[in-house]
Amino acid sequence: MKKLMKFLKDYKKEAVLAPLFKLLEALFELLVPMVMAQIIDQGIANGDMGHVARMGLCLLSLALVGLVSSITAQYFAAKAAVGFSTQLRQALFDHIQGLDFTNVDKAGTSTMITRMTSDINQVQSGVNMVLRLFLRSPIIIFGAMIMAFTIDVKSALIFVAAIPLLAIVVFGIMMWTIPLYRKVQGWLDKVLGVTRENLTGVRVIRAFHKEAEEEEKFKSYTRALAASQNFVGRISAVMNPVTYIIVNGALIALIYTGALQVNVGNLTQGEVIALLNYMSQILVELVKLANLIITITKALACADRVAGVFDIQNQDTRTGIQDTSGKTADAPFLEFDHVSLTYEGAGAETLHDIHFTVEKGETVGIIGGTGSGKSSLVNLIPAFYPVTEGAIRLEGQDIRFLPEDILRRRIGVVPQKAILFKGTIRSNLQWGNPDATEEEMWHAIDIAQAREVVDGKEGKLDARIAQGGRNLSGGQRQRLTIARALVRKPEILILDDSSSALDYATDARLRTALRTLEENTTTIIVSQRASAIRHADKIIVLDDGEMVGAGTHDELLAGCGVYQEIYYSQYPDERKDIRQERGR
């Protein structure tokens, strides 16, 4: 929790004023039993109704001032708690945005969501309750005990015996439940994870008729969560009855002792009533304190989980690497220098010893079977994942030494899964370039073969896009994501199997239009279709994470078995023609 307290620095005034006003309210509340004693001993006992009225007005004044103090304290506490959680949530979001894909994959999406929502909400409640009650409750408890000593020392000893017993119960249960609440939040992560998985893959689940199995899986997780919550809830629930038993036992002892003291004339009836009121105040505050401890326990467990995300840091992969600062005139534009990649927790390398160069303005095709590492290869260029061996150099400089924002401004990526964001077509295109003019947007739309998509929508560029682009077909989403990357005018354009949902005619028009890009644009096309990359200046062939061929279409068709297998599986007629020519 200490690590997160820095997010309260902008709310120091509120964090101080809230407990101070609560302290003021507590002090006024401690005066109430003394006023009641005055009413009973002097007003009622002597039949002085004027004194009763004056003391009654005094009680109303104390109540009014206490109410104003309470409202003011709650205002400041709420402002501090909400401001704290806002800054914390923003900082956590910014931190997650800065993590590389390795750390995001390792932490898990569902865990990140839980910690940014449920966990931070619990921490916010904890901060709010601490500012409101953490000072007030102890002041009332110990203040009531001190006031009891001013009335009668012998009776006040009952308070001295009761309060340590109550403290043992409250803090003992707190220490027991803190680790249990961590487990509850862990099960909540799992429930969120399986929920997200089911919502994302609902069509696959229905297609394979797996609803019953997934329902049972979800029930098992929710049962485990419920069992965990019930267990810790039962332990927490013990707090209130045990505190009631101790306080009510103290009340019985206090009534008995007070009665004896009244009989011998050491105490007045009003003073006994005051002592009982002070014990009742202690009871109420201890119930509040018990609930506060439960909230704080949850908040501390959640704060540790949130702090755990901040502890995740990107690994520095530059150790032992010499920085070749500045551009090298004779260096290739882009170079893969014996690059290997192993994902976190993977048993084997995904990519092994990849080595090739790309000149500026070239079009490079990457092809290979499913799982050969094509997407992994292009994800290394924007440094989404760090290489585990070798180096990738841009104009002679290792990309690990380039600031991420500078590197990624030079690259336009169209991912394998076309994702659009809620808003308009215009706002989605502006992700590529916030300052893009309408002319630049339409130019990118034309190259991406998306004009018919935009023209067919009411509002054209201002047409609404649903979250994830759900109101568009797969092909429409792909064309708009290509346009978004083109608006950026990148030096390196990466198309990661981004035309898989397009028909062959549209795909052919897209490839033709891409050849009209500026000469300094280097295009890297990942595709399963040989037709999409056959006219590339250079084709890289991958097989099981290794580069098994590099060259032009004709060169590979003549000497690369893997490329021949892929190509002829898509164009079997050409294989027949070759066989017929050889037969002649």
Both tokens of 351, joined, read: 């990519």
Contact 352, 546 (CB under 8 A): yes
How far apart, in whole angstroms, are the C-alpha atoms of residue 297 and residue 292? 8
Answer yes or no: are the C-beta atoms of 469 and 475 closer than 8 Å: no
Beta strands 464-465; 389-394: pairing state: unpaired
In which residue ranges of the chain is CATH 3.40.50.300 found?
322-410+490-584, 414-488
CATH code 1.20.1560.10 region(s) in the chain: 2-311
What DSSP letter does each residue of 65-79 carry, written as one string?
HHHHHHHHHHHHHHH
pLDDT confidence of residue 581:
55
Angle (CA) 453 459 462, round 5°: 90
Residue 556 tokens read as 């590979």
Annotate 553-572 with b (16+ C-beta within 10 A) or e (fewer).
beebbeebebbbebbbeeee
Enumerate the β-bridge partners of residue 413. Answer: 494
* pLDDT score for 378: 92
Helix residue ranges, H only, 238-345? 239-264, 269-311
Q: Are strands 363-368 and 522-526 parallel, antiparallel or unpaired?
A: parallel
Predicted confidence at residue 433, as pLDDT, reads 85
**What local confidence, expressed as pLDDT, does residue 384 receive?**
87
Here the tokens at position 147 are 């006031």
pLDDT in tens, 127-150: 888 888 877 878 887 888 788 788
Domain 322-410+490-584 CATH (choose: 2.40.50.140, 3.40.50.720, 3.30.1280.10, 3.40.50.300): 3.40.50.300
Helices (H), 115-268: 120-129, 136-151, 153-200, 202-207, 211-237, 239-264
Q: Each residue of 254-278: pLDDT tens digit?
A: 788 878 777 777 777 788 888 888 8
Tens digit of each residue's pLDDT, the chain (584 residues) = 677 878 888 888 888 898 888 888 888 888 887 777 777 777 776 777 777 788 888 888 888 988 898 899 999 999 999 999 999 999 989 888 888 787 887 777 777 888 888 889 888 988 888 888 877 878 887 888 788 788 777 777 887 787 788 778 877 877 788 778 778 877 887 888 888 788 878 888 888 888 888 899 899 999 998 998 898 888 878 877 887 788 788 888 878 887 877 777 777 778 888 888 887 777 777 777 777 777 887 788 888 888 888 888 877 655 555 555 455 657 889 999 999 998 877 778 899 999 999 999 899 999 988 888 898 999 999 988 888 889 999 998 999 888 888 888 899 988 888 888 889 989 989 888 888 888 889 999 999 888 888 888 888 888 898 888 888 888 888 889 999 999 988 899 999 888 777 778 888 888 888 888 767 789 999 988 888 888 889 999 999 889 999 999 989 988 888 898 888 888 887 665 555 555 55
Q: Residue 234 has what pLDDT?
A: 85
Residue 115 gets which letter from DSSP?
A: I
Closest CA to 116 of 295, 310, 282, 255: 310
What secondary structure does DSSP assign to 182-217, as a single string?
A: HHHHHHHHHHHHHHHHHHHTHHHHHHTT-HHHHHHH
Q: Percent helix, strand and coil across the chain, each rounded to 5?
A: 65, 10, 20
Class of domain 2-311: mainly alpha
Token pair listed for 15: 């964090």
Q: How many CB atoms within 10 Å of residue 97? A: 8
In sequence order, the β-bridge partners of residue 357 are 335
Q: What is the CA radius of gyration of the chain?
A: 36
The predicted model scores a pTM of 0.69
Say what the pLDDT of residue 538 is: 92
Read off the tokens for 82. 């909400």
Q: Which fold has domain 414-488?
A: Rossmann fold (3.40.50)
